[in-house]
Each structure stands twice: as structure tokens, then as C-alpha cells.
Amino acid sequence: MPPNAPKPPSVAIIGAGPGGLAAAVLLLASGAHVTIYERMDRVGGRSARLTEQGASGTYHFDTGPTFFLMPYVLGEVFAAAGRKMEDYLDLTRLDPMYRLVFGAAKGPDGGELKLDCTQDLHEMARRITQIEPHDGPAFTRMILENRAKLAAFEPVLRKPFKSVLDCLAPEMLRALPHLSPTQSVADWLGKRFTSEHVKMAMSFQTKYLGMSPFKCPSLFTILPFIEYEWGIWHPAGGCNAIMTALARLVEELGGQIKTLHPIEALTFAGNACTGVVSGGRTFAHDHVVLNADASWAIKNLIPASLRSGFTGAGTDAKLDAMDYSCSTFMIYAGVRGTLPLPHHTIYISRDYQTNIRQISQSMELSTDPSIYICNPSVIDSTLAPPGCSSVYILVPTPNAKSGIDWRQSAQRVKRDAYDRAEALCGFPLQDRVECERVYTPDDWEGQNINFGATFNLAHNLGQMLHLRPRHELPGVKNVWLVGGGTHPGSGLPVIFLSSQITAKLLCEKTGLDYAGQATPIASVLDPQSKLHEMVGARGK
């Protein structure tokens, strides 16, 4: 460093989740000094690894996300540090992407209707046509519409929203013709598809946001498009391998990761944050980036007297009154034997609308819940002993606002989940369980996730863009936010986008040259697609 050069800023990042790790890489690559404080003994946050011992050996599980989308976004983080993502991660594209099982319909074999979803768009259109002749061509038109929608809206996903005036920015105005703000995802799909099952196949992805397709804004029809455009990927070792790769890069760049360092408080001089308190010790920093659950962090780390700038939410009651996503009941089971299921299987309730309403409105347990089964051992031998399987079962549930007593309800939900899983795979799952861990919404809440809402604040129109907690928290100085609780929202790819936004803003504030660079969206959308030929020049 030249003798007269300004001292690089010292940045504390609270939480070694995906947003915090990616922000650390970007800030280190830009010249900042970075220390990550993580309360757990491992990195990952909600994308941590769980390890359990069974009679046959060691089983590993992703605690959170189990698949990866839009790899080019993560590639941008590595590129900012002069690295190649492929030197750190081994990614496998899944085909089928997932199997959908519709509880309310019969397939040709007399059993429940199944749809194996593939990134081969021609083949996918053919499979949909077998369910409903009208909907195969409608699928290809949907892909084209959402390719244009994402191309228009992607710049919005990359920009900060500091006030309502940012909604008048050129990027936003260019995106408006592609948006239908008064329509839900279900409304938008209902105008294009005939089969209820095909509509479900193109709308269940709103669960990635913890939301109902009947409430989720129609913008999010880009979610299935993203799957079909770039595929669904499995990192060898599970999604936590992404977190360990980022942690390795942080340390290569000179950053520090302090595990078992929960943050008890932030220190302030007036409204300017000056550091953090951990283990009773004060650590001075010029800036603090919160990668903890957004509303929990604001409630517990920002004094109430300094919170009024956040959409008027100066009290815990106002923060708690916001809309939150659903939660999840989780079973992580080490099982003897191999399951005859693909990597991802999703069972859709026989009465899907009632199931969704129970999760998000009446806040009660469903009598026929939808469930998701992840069976990564089918392609990744590193996660379970030979001849065994690491099985992940997820049941969407109401969040902790429901008041459900999980001490009484957990066994019922667990039994129903295992029964459904056994019906799907024809495999005596419960009889072969060697080890097991169960998480309820209470457990998620105990991990400092407000109301155990595992997908953060809901993504409704009143909590998007400038109405979501902002990257630079108003009312205080030197405090920043990254992760699913801020813009653009939940899910690994957009969390990595949030880390880019936060890191770039912090660099601008401190005079650092931001090292990151966005990939032009036109270069990663499929320019060779033959979909135009499939639907005809006039889009018929």
C-alpha cells in the first residue's frame, strides 16, 4: 500500500450464510478488510451441512436449499476475485429436474399422475401435450414470454431501491410493459393453460419464496422459466459445498471467519455504528453488514430509537405485523438401501388450494400436505455410506405465528410425511432409518429466524422493491443488509445478487473500486432457441 493511501475500511459481516460469504468475497476483492462473525461452529447459515452417524457410517444433509439455479450469477462472484467457479465446485445438471406427483389425478398406469420435468423444451412440451393437448404449445409460448420478461426485469433485480423515486428509474419503466401487477401467478397462468395439473407444474415454484401461487405477484412466473432456461444443478457434496467454497475463497483473499462468535450487540456513537460485541468483547469496525435474518436483526441489533427510517417500523410490533413466508417441517433421515426416486420428487396435495390456504391463511396443519423429497444419494455417493441414502423430507407448514404446539403436533406430521414418502417410493423407509433429525418451525425460530419463516419476509407487492428492508439501513450509519430479507429476495441466486448490490454500494460509500461485474443478460439467455419455430412466427 502506498504510504499516503487511505486505510482500507474494516467491515464486519454478521453471519456466514450465502449472502454474507459472497459479500465478503466481493469486498475483499475490492480492497476492504473483512471479518465474518458466525454464531454456529460451521459456515452456511440456512445452507449449512448437518452430519449424523448411523450404524452403516456417516450421513450428510443440506439443512436448507438442495438445488442450485443460475450458476452464472455465482460465477460473477468468483470472477470478481479473479477465480473460476469450476475450479472450486463440481456441478451436475439434473435430468429430470424433478418429478411431480399429482395426488388428485390418475396416470396411464392407474396410479397417481406423474410428470418428469426436463430442460429439453421440445420433450417437455410433448409430455405436457400428453396431459392436455392445448398446453404443450402454451408451454413454449410461456417460455418465450418469460424470457422477454426476465430480460426486461433483470436490471431491476440488480439495482438498489433506496426510495419510491427508484421505481421511476429507466430500468423499471422498461420492465413495466412485461408486468401484470394486479395478477397473481395463478391468475397469469390461468389465462394461458387449460389443465390444472399443468398450472400446478408451472406455479409450485412460488414455494421457493414460501408463498401461495394465488397470492404471489405474477412477476414470479420467471421462476419456472429460470429452471427451464438454465437447468437445475447439484453441487457435489450438496449445496453446502457452495458455502465451503466461498469460505475457502474468503480465507484465500485474507478475510477472517470467526465461528462460534454470536453477536450480542452493535456499538454506536450517536447513530453511527462503530463495531460489534461478541463474547463480551468489543470489536471495532468501520462498517457492519447484517447477514442474519433481516427482521430478527433489526429487532435485536438496531436500537428502537434508530429504526424509524425503515418504513416507519420503529417498534417490534410493527416489524412483527409484516407479512412473513411459510415455514417448513423437516426430516433428515439416514436410510439403509437406495430409493427408486430421482433427486427431487414433489407430491402435490389432492386438494392443492385447500392445502395452500391452510398453510398461508387459516394457519393450520393440512390433512393431506404436499411434500418434497430430496434423494441426492442417487447421483452423489459422498453423502451417505455405500448402499445407503441421505433422505431429506420437507413439509411446508404455517410459520410460528400460527400458535401450533409442535410438541404435540410433530409426531403426527412426521408420521404423515413418512407414510407419503413410502407411498411414493414403495420402500419401507421408516423400518430402515439409521439416524434422524427433525426440525419444526419452533426450531427454525430458535435459530434467530423471526416466526420461523424460513423464506424470510413475504414477497407481496407491499414488501418488494423500496418497501423491503434496504441494503443500507436508513436511520443509522454504516449498517448494511444482505440476504433474502432485502431486495431482490429469497433463493440462492438472488441472494448472490443482493450481495453484489450491497458490496457495490458499500464500495461507493468508502471510495473503493468495486471489483464485480455483471454478466450481460443477453449473453446468457438462449439465443439459439428454436421455440419461435415451434410456436410460429405469429406466436400461434
pTM of the shown model:
0.94
Say if residue 311's pLDDT is above 80: no
Alpha-carbon gap, residue 511 to 257, rounded angstroms: 24
pLDDT for res 168: 87
Closest by Cα among 464, 456, 378 to 181? 464
Instruction: Indicate the average pLDDT of the chain.
Output: 93
Q: How confident is the model at residue 2 (pLDDT cuts 50, 70, 90)?
A: low
Ordered by start, the domain boundaries in the chain are: 10-45+244-322+457-521, 118-230, 326-446
Task: Tell me which DSSP letter residue 271 carries.
Answer: T
Alpha-carbon gap, residue 63 to 46, rounded angstroms: 6
pLDDT for res 532: 41
pLDDT for res 488: 95
pLDDT tens digit string along 109-146? 888 899 999 999 999 999 999 999 999 999 999 999 99
Alpha-carbon gap, residue 372 to 49, rounded angstroms: 18
**Which of 162-176, 506-520, 524-538 is most confident?**
506-520
Q: How confident is the model at residue 537 (pLDDT cuts 50, 70, 90)?
A: very low
pLDDT for res 453: 96
pLDDT for res 310: 60
- Interacting residues of 183 by C-beta distance below 8 A, sequence separation 6+: 217, 218
> Do the beta carbons of residue 323 and residue 450 sit within 8 Å?
no
Say if residue 364's pLDDT is above 60: yes
Say if residue 526's pLDDT is above 90: no
CATH code: domain 326-446 is: 3.30.519
Architecture of the domain delimited by 10-45+244-322+457-521: 3-Layer(bba) Sandwich (3.50)
Reduced to 3 states (helix: H, G, I; strand: E, B; else coil), residue 309 is coil
- Interacting residues of 17 by C-beta distance below 8 A, sequence separation 6+: 44, 45, 46, 47, 243, 291, 483, 495
